[in-house]
Amino acid sequence: MSTEKKSLKEKVQKAKEQKAEELDDLSNIQLIVFKQGEEEYALNIDQIKEVVITPNITKMPQSPSYIKGVANIRGNIIAIVDLEEKFGIKSERDTLNEGGKNFTLVIESEDVKIGILVKEVPNTLAVSKGDIDEAVNVIHNSNMDQNYITGIVKIDGRLVILIDVFRVVSESDISSSNKIAV
């Protein structure tokens, strides 16, 4: 094969790879958006098993204050986490004590099952991967560890903070709460 043909094949291959990367950037991902305090946060929909009305929560001794306790959701005992407390967010009302309904985002991985408390029914949002700004070091005055943040999405003048819930809640905290419950 001549050098010219080889070079042409390499250029074609490179162009195909570049086009595939561009298409990957344009592909949409689904997010679940919810409020914590006055800020909006989002999780990748793939991290969420379901959204349920928050069931009765049994407090667990010797667990971090942001772990409100455990609850029975469809036969599974899971730790219930209050991200407002974890992040140090001031709230107008207590997440659990207002007489209104609260909701729990049930998060599941191979190793961990947890519930995230939210005050309102979360919304879904489709964004292209290219719309997610991964330069998260712009948030300096946050109580949140920047390792939790995977990106920022700007939608209609609003900023939505994309977080990785598995980084937020350490496995040791959850597993110790679940062991006590069993």
pTM here is: 0.71
The pLDDT tens digits for 60-89 are 998 888 999 999 999 999 999 999 988 888
d(CA 143, CA 117): 18
d(CA 74, CA 52): 10
The architecture in CATH of the region 38-129+166-181 reads Beta Barrel (2.40)
Write the burial class of residue 45 (CB in 10 Å: 0-12 exposed, 13-18 middle, 19+ buried). Answer: middle
Inter-CA distances, 141 with 23, 138, 146, Å: 35, 9, 10
Looking at residues 52-59, what average pLDDT do you find? Answer: 94
47 close to 96: Cβ distance less than 8 angstroms: no
The pLDDT tens digits for 110-135 are 778 899 999 888 999 999 888 888 76
Which alpha helices (H) appear in 53-125, and where do they start and end? 83-87
Q: Where are the domains of the chain?
A: 38-129+166-181
CA 143 to mean position of chain CA atoms: 17
Beta strands, E only, 90-130:
103-108, 113-118, 123-128
Mean pLDDT, the chain, whole residue set: 79
